[in-house]
Amino acid sequence: MSDPNLAALVMAGGLGTRMRSDTPKHLHPLLGRRMLDWVLDAVAATGPSRIVVVVSPQTHDTIAESLPEGVEIAVQREPRGTGDAVAAARDALAGFDGDVLVVSGDAPLITAEVLGGLVSAHRRAGNAATALSIESPRDLPYGRLVKDENGELLEVVEAADATDDQLAIRELNASIYAFAAPDLWPAVEALDARNAQGELYLTDTIRNLSRAGRRVGSHPTADAAVAEGVNTRADLAHAAALLRDRVNEAHMLAGVTIVDPSTTWIDPDVQLAPDAVVHQFTVLRGATRVAEDAEIGPHAVVVDAEIRRGAIVGPFCYLRPGTVLEAGAKAGTFVEIKNSHVGEGAKVPHLSYIGDAEIGAGANIAAGNITANFPHQPGRPKGRTTIGRNVRTGIHNGFIAPVTIGDDAWVAAGSVITKDVPPQALAVARSRQVNKEGFAGRDGD
């Protein structure tokens, strides 16, 4: 439910030069989603009535074209620091006097539970500003929360400006905040760039508000990883592994067997039913759906496919978008299937490519079978191969679409089928074998 007294700002203006990429940092893919999408999903789940994403002029078009409906954009014209990024959203939130959640767009591990806890703590304390804090075993270059002898927050000091004593403080700033809007904008206006980086630090609003007599505080989260940002490709890989573990654990707690979670990568939108089994070195992507008692892997890649009850995939199998395996079907070793429907109990056991095809229930496709679907003549549409119920193919068969193999038909080994085969017929499409006696003993003329 939307909270009319809560708005959210997501800071996504950085170009991410340390990523050494032409792709803006916040748009790098991470377990099937862009980094920014993970943040926006968590923010949206906290229920703000408005979400504003702050972008740079260079990233405006790329980010704007793919934002969820209702998300607004503000532009930070120059890269003058986090305080200036927040100030860029002031016009967008003109007249809003509730609480403002400020979140870094490069923190893909953040969760709605942590953000909701921050907002609740902020409101219970009646704070003008509340900073999310962490204690991390990693050596992170984050700001330090400086408190008085009573544990009251005085200021947040960036690592680049901190003294040795301040660097020894283990409570770190997560760069995620809740502000009361009437206190936020004056505090941002009072920022100056007298610091090591010559930027307008949002962290300095804590000091400004404290010195002005306004109540400020911190809210710790036990899981430090949720607030860690991504600045390099190494950070990206670290975040991806943690997201992988989070997704896999949720599936296992719901009744899915994942034999080796550390080598199994499952996108967040994949659906797995209880009693499905996923073996090691398997990748499940996109909108893939896997029913109960299905078994996948090892070394299988499945993208936007549907695997129904008791079907078997792999090992070393690639299922591409549009593939459906009906109950008890099998796609075996070194098999690739694309945009095809494999009927109940049908088998494609090994070393075959099946594309744009219908395979009937109970059919058995032998080794080395290929459906060839591109037209022989320019301008003709791509064809489709239809293989009927209980068909038996031989090894090394080719099917030149469009072509239909009738129910209960057989296809002889080595045949290239270019014409329809009637039901219960045997199709043979190959030359006769000819042996040339003594051929190997000739002088080679």
The CB-side HSE value for 242 (13 A sphere, CA atoms) comes to 20
Rounded Cα distance between 318 and 302, Å, is 6
Interval 84-90 mean pLDDT: 94
Has 350 been annotated as catalytic? yes
Rounded Cα distance between 208 and 366, Å, is 75
Range ranked top by mean pLDDT from 56-70, 164-178, 240-254: 240-254
Rounded Cα distance between 439 and 55, Å, is 75
Count of CB atoms within 10 A of residue 354's CB? 27
Residue 14: pLDDT band (50, 70, 90) is: confident
Write the burial class of residue 205 (CB in 10 Å: 0-12 exposed, 13-18 middle, 19+ buried).
Answer: buried
Rounded Cα distance between 341 and 348, Å, is 12
* All residues at 6 or more sequence positions from 275 whose CB lies less than 8 Å from its CB, including other chains: 255, 256, 257, 292, 293
Strand order in the sheet with 289-290: 271-272, 289-290, 306-307, 324-325, 341-342, 357-359, 385-387, 403-405
Three-state DSSP at 164 gives: helix
Residue 78: pLDDT band (50, 70, 90) is: confident
pLDDT tens digits for range 240-262: 999 999 999 999 999 999 999 99
The CB-side HSE value for 402 (13 A sphere, CA atoms) comes to 5
Torsion region of 45: left, alpha or beta (phi above 0 gives left; psi -120 to 50 gives alpha): alpha
How high is the pLDDT of residue 377?
Answer: 63
Rounded Cα distance between 36 and 250, Å, is 22
CB under 8 A, 24+ apart: contacts of 296-301: 297/259, 297/264, 298/259
Rounded Cα distance between 21 and 155, Å, is 35
Stretch (H or E) spanning 245: helix 233-253
How high is the pLDDT of residue 65?
Answer: 83
Interval 121-127 mean pLDDT: 97
pLDDT tens digits for range 136-155: 877 778 889 999 888 899 98
State yes or no: pLDDT of 204 exceeds 70: yes
Cβ-contact 239, 228 below 8 angstroms:
yes
How high is the pLDDT of residue 443?
Answer: 65
- For the chain, which residues make up each domain, given as ranges? 3-227, 250-427
Percent of residues, the chain, with pLDDT higher than 90: 75
| Spatial CA neighbour of 42 closest among 176, 231, 148 | 176
Three-state DSSP at 437 gives: coil
State the DSSP code for 67.
Answer: P
Residue 445: pLDDT band (50, 70, 90) is: low
Catalytic residue among 28, 350, 376, 396: 350
How high is the pLDDT of residue 48?
Answer: 97
Interval 38-59 mean pLDDT: 95
CATH code for residues 3-227: 3.90.550.10
Between 44 and 444, the higher pLDDT residue: 44
Whether the predicted model's global pTM rises above the 0.85 cut: yes
Question: Beta strand 324-325 with 306-307: parallel, antiparallel or unpaired?
Answer: parallel
Interval 301-319 mean pLDDT: 98
State the DSSP code for 364.
Answer: B
Rounded Cα distance between 67 and 36, Å, is 9
Which amino acid, residue 268?
P
pLDDT tens digits for range 351-409: 999 999 999 999 999 999 999 987 656 667 778 999 999 999 999 999 999 999 999 99
How high is the pLDDT of residue 139?
Answer: 75
At residue 348's C-alpha, the angle toward residues 346 and 352, to 5°, is: 155
Matching CATH number, 250-427, of 2.160.10.10, 3.10.450.50, 3.10.180.10, 2.40.40.20: 2.160.10.10
Query: What does 379-410 look like in DSSP terms, one character per residue?
Result: TPPP--EEE-TT-B--TT-EEESSEEE-TT-E
* All residues at 6 or more sequence positions from 322 whose CB lies less than 8 Å from its CB, including other chains: 304, 305, 338, 339, 340
At residue 193's C-alpha, the angle toward residues 189 and 196, to 5°, is: 150
Q: What is the mean pLDDT of the chain?
A: 93
Query: What does 282-351 look like in DSSP terms, one character per residue?
Result: -EEETT-EE-TT-EE-SSEEEES-EE-TT-EE-SSEEE-TT-EE-TT-EEEETEEEES-EE-TT-EEEES
How high is the pLDDT of residue 141?
Answer: 84
